[in-house]
């Protein structure tokens, strides 16, 4: 078993900030292998103002973005220290499926694991669940950019 991370530790790994950081907590991370993270979905999410006020549903692209952010956390935790500070860019998604809507009050849990790793890119398999029921899944590919000073 790995370790848990709070939002402060997450924000040291991800460049995202409110309202776009979509991972609230890491429940378990095993660098080089897997991460389990979560996002609490509240009625106060800014995207619900327009998607849709009378029937709030989390946009599917944001569920995939949250999976990608969980993958970014796993990538950061798995990189050698000399690569820390290199941005991780989401470049592809394959086999994306949406199974059911995500609504206020749900707790999204993301399980992401490595499929492939190289010196310049990573490929992940990710599954998002609510109450242990699959809501989305995808294969995500990311690449590393130039190190930020």
Rounded CA gap, 58 and 149, in Å? 35
DSSP 3-state of 48: helix
Total domains in the fold of the chain: 1
Residue 45 falls inside a structural domain:
yes
Residue 133 falls inside a structural domain:
yes
What pLDDT does residue 1 have? Answer: 64
Rounded CA gap, 135 and 48, in Å? 18
CATH code assigned at 104:
3.10.129.10
Residue 77 falls inside a structural domain:
yes
Q: 46 or 148: whose pLDDT is higher?
A: 46
Residue 132 falls inside a structural domain:
yes
Q: Are 127 and 137 in contact (CB under 8 A)?
A: yes
DSSP class of 13: H
Residue 93 falls inside a structural domain:
yes
Quick check: 149 pLDDT over 60? no
Name the burial class of residue 63, with classes exposed (0-12), middle (13-18) and buried (19+) by CB atoms within 10 angstroms of its CB. buried
Residue 8 falls inside a structural domain:
yes
Question: What contacts 8, CB < 8 A, 6 or more positions away?
Answer: none
Q: Would you please indicate which residues are annotated as catalytic (active-site) residues?
A: 51
Residue 144: pLDDT band by 50, 70, 90 thresholds? confident
Residue 36: closest CA among 100, 140, 127: 127
CA distances to 16, 58, 81 from 43, in Å: 21, 10, 38
Spell out the alpha helix ranges (H) of 1-149.
Answer: 7-13, 60-78
Residue 149 falls inside a structural domain:
no
Q: What is the pTM of this model?
A: 0.94
What pLDDT does residue 148 have? Answer: 60
DSSP class of 92: E
Quick check: 19 pLDDT over 60? yes
Percent of the chain topping pLDDT 70? 97
Its domain, for residue 57, covers 3-144
Residue 147: pLDDT band by 50, 70, 90 thresholds? low
């Amino acid at each position: 078993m790995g370790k848990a991370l709070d939002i402060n530790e997450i924000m040291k790994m991800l460049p995202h900030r409110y309202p776009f950081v979509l991972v609230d907590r890491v429940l378990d991370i095993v660098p080089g292998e897997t991460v389990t993270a979560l996002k609490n979905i509240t009625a106060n999410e800014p995207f619900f103002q327009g998607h849709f006020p009378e029937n709030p549903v989390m946009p599917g692209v944001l569920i995939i973005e949250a999976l990608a952010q969980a993958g970014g956390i796993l990538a950061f935790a798995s990189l050698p220290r000399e690569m820390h500070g290199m941005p991780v860019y989401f470049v592809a998604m394959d086999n994306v499926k949406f199974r059911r809507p995500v609504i206020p009050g749900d707790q999204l849990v993301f399980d992401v694991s490595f499929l492939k790793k190289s010196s310049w890119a990573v490929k992940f398999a990710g599954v998002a669940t609510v109450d242990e029921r699959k809501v989305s899944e995808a294969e995500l590919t990311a690449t590393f950019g130039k190190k930020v000073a």
